[in-house]
Amino acid sequence: MTKPSRSSRLPAGMRALAHRNFRLYFAGQAVSILGSWIQQVALAWLVYRLTGSAALLGVTAFCGLIPQLLVGPLAGAWIDKQDKKKWLVGVQALMAVQAFVLAGLTWADWIGTPFIVLMALVLGTLSSFDAPLRQSLIGSFVGSRDDLPNALALNAMLFNAGRFVGPPIAGLLLGTTSEAFCFAINGFSFLALIAGILLVHGTPPPRAKGSMGEVFKEGLQYAWQTWSVRTLILTLIALNLTASTYAVLLPVFARDVFAGDATTLGWLWGAAGCGAFLSTIYLATRKAVPAVVSAIVAGVAISMVSMLAFAMTTWLPLALAGMIGLGFGISVCNVGINMVLQSIAPETLRGRIVSFFTSARFGFDALGGLLAGFVASWLGAGHTLLVEGGALLLFVVFLFTRRQRLLAQVAEAHGDSSHGH
């Protein structure tokens, strides 16, 4: 177990950084996340610059995320049987290769729709293993169940800080260099995380025993038979099928609604990242798991209101405010649900529960993005978000009627798991 060395010098909202292994991971992850956001914005701009197609934006986002829906649940069962640290290093190396290949194809002007779709599928498949590997290792990096929710919140804070800073940087780089340069930056950024992981020392988490089928079935039964887990995953699906799809349509809003360019896209994406960053600061200071559940329910409502406001305005300052609200609401839900699921799940099931989380989180984001791209080609981007906001409103009503039961069951499950630990 990793012993905190400097907890007395850290505020409660940053207590997980008292653990050396988590600090090393945190530093490497900071660089890697910034590179990933720069690549994501550059790729979206490249697609829309080459084709002007909202539908292809949806297809590209779909290909980058759908492997997590199809491969993710099985990846979790496989991961729980492996040396997670070794495989995390290997996956980072392969993701670096993907970024460099994308940079080379773009620089040589060989990039086109088939290569873009192929590169998105490769990255999505690697991400199916990357996300569960990273998330399930965080518990071993802090070595303390009590500090795990804070570590998850800080990890999400890092992601959202990159999301806040990365898109505006990408906008500036796209205006002064090229998409290929942005992709190359991402390739080099993975080296920082690889270095951080290699410097981590400690006892590896226990491996699951049994066949792949048995390990997968055990995790699936727990997720399905535990009402609170099932409800939280349903909330993930509803939110990411609707609200999260705004990201696919942002290039359309930037160019066609607000008459802007890559810099406008960077500001819109950065505003959503600002809201998401604020949400993780809020979550990092929550000590009681039931308080996180209340934040999740409120976050769904905030996402719905913000999406409707953004869809109905043509005034950029109001749109930026809507993006801040949307980023806050979506992040409170996604990060909060991850915190609750990992806090109440037995340690031996954590890799599989994380894989179900990432599968629902990113897989239905992919399906929603694909659907939004095609609907926007027919109805327009603004009307598409209005329809999705109306659908999310119905789910908000459903969730509020089950709020008290969810609070009670999570509080009970968290108490039992703490005792068991």
pLDDT confidence of 52, banded at 50, 70, 90?
confident
Residue 416 confidence (pLDDT): 57
**Torsion angles phi and psi, residue 198, rounded to 5:** -65, -25
Give me the mean pLDDT over the 236-240 stretch.
96
Could you tell me if residue 2 is inside a domain?
A: no
pLDDT tens per residue, range 9-50: 677 778 889 999 999 999 999 999 999 999 998 998 898 888
Backbone angles phi, psi at 5, to 5 degrees: -110, -15
Q: Which residue has the tokens 């509020």?
A: 400
95-143 pLDDT, tens digit per residue, is: 999 999 999 999 999 988 899 999 999 999 999 899 888 888 888 898 7
- For range 340-367, the mean pLDDT: 86
> How far is the C-alpha of 181 from the C-alpha of 111, rounded, in Å?
14
270/302 Cα distance (integer angstroms): 18
Task: Establish if 411 belongs to a structural domain.
Answer: yes
Secondary structure of the chain in HEC code, one letter for each residue: CCCCCCHHHCCHHHHHHHCHHHHHHHHHHHHHHHHHHHHHHHHHHHHHHHHCCHHHHHHHHHHHHHHHHHCHHHHHHHHCCCCHHHHHHHHHHHHHHHHHHHHHHHHCCCCCHHHHHHHHHHHHHHHHHHHHHHHHHHHHHHCCCCCHHHHHHHHHHHHHHHHHHHHHHHHHHHHHCCHHHHHHHHHHHHHHHHHHHHCCCCCCCCCCCCCHHHHHHHHHHHHHHCHHHHHHHHHHHHHHHHHHHHHHHHHHHHHHHCCCCHHHHHHHHHHHHHHHHHHHHHHHCCCCHHHHHHHHHHHHHHHHHHHHHHHHCCCHHHHHHHHHHHHHHHHHHHHHHHHHHHHHCCHHHHHHHHHHHHHHHHHHHHHHHHHHHHHHHHHCHHHHHHHHHHHHHHHHHHHHCCHHHHHHHHHHHHHHHHHHC
Q: Of 253-257, 286-290, 411-415, which one has max mean pLDDT?
A: 253-257
Q: In whole angstroms, how far apart are CA 94 and each of 38, 109, 354, 420? A: 18, 23, 21, 38
Q: Which two tokens mark 207?
A: 């491996």
What number of CA atoms fall less than 13 Å from residue 304's CA on the CB side?
A: 20
Mean pLDDT on 305-333: 95
Token reading at 298 = 């409120």
Query: What is the extent of the structural domain holding 208?
Result: 9-420
Residues near 196 by Cβ (< 8 Å), separated by ≥ 6? Answer: 24, 25, 26, 27, 28, 29
Indicate the residue type of 351. Answer: G
Model confidence at 421, in pLDDT bands (50, 70, 90)? very low
* 163 lies in some domain: yes
Judge whether 156 lies within some domain: yes
- 2 pLDDT more than 70: no
Summarize the confidence of residues 311-323 as an average pLDDT.
Answer: 94
φ/ψ of 195, rounded to 5, equals -60, -45
Identify which of 311, 312, 286 has the alpha carbon closest to the alpha carbon of residue 299: 286
Mean pLDDT of 345-356: 84
Average pLDDT over residues 245-261: 88
Q: How many domains does the chain have?
A: 1
57: in domain? yes
Q: Would you put residue 52 in left (φ > 0), alpha (ψ -120 to 50) or beta? A: left
Q: Phi and psi (nearest 5°) for 132? A: -65, -35
Q: What is the mean pLDDT of the chain?
A: 88
| HEC-encoded secondary structure of 246-277 | HHHHHHHHHHHHCCCCHHHHHHHHHHHHHHHH
Pick the more confident residue, 5 or 23. 23
* pLDDT value at residue 1: 47
* Residue 410 confidence (pLDDT) above 60: yes
- Rounded Cα–Cα distance for residues 217 and 232 (Å): 19
CB-CB contact of 52 with 65 (8 Å) = no
Pick the closest to residue 322 from 387, 269, 257 (CA basis): 269
pLDDT of residue 11: 78
Average pLDDT over residues 365-371: 85
pLDDT tens for 256-304 read: 888 888 889 889 988 998 898 899 889 988 878 888 999 999 999 999 9
Which of 162-176, 213-227, 297-311, 327-341 is the least confident region? Answer: 162-176
CATH of the domain at 106: 1.20.1250.20
Residue 3 lies in a domain: no
pLDDT of residue 74: 86
Burial of 259 (0-12, 13-18, 19+ CB in 10 A): exposed
State which amino acid sits at residue 171: G
Question: Tokens at residue 290, please?
Answer: 């039931």
Q: Name the more confident of 163 and 20.
A: 20
Q: Are 363 and 66 in contact (CB under 8 A)?
A: yes
The reply to whether 1 falls in a domain is no
User: What letter represents residue 160's amino acid?
Assistant: N
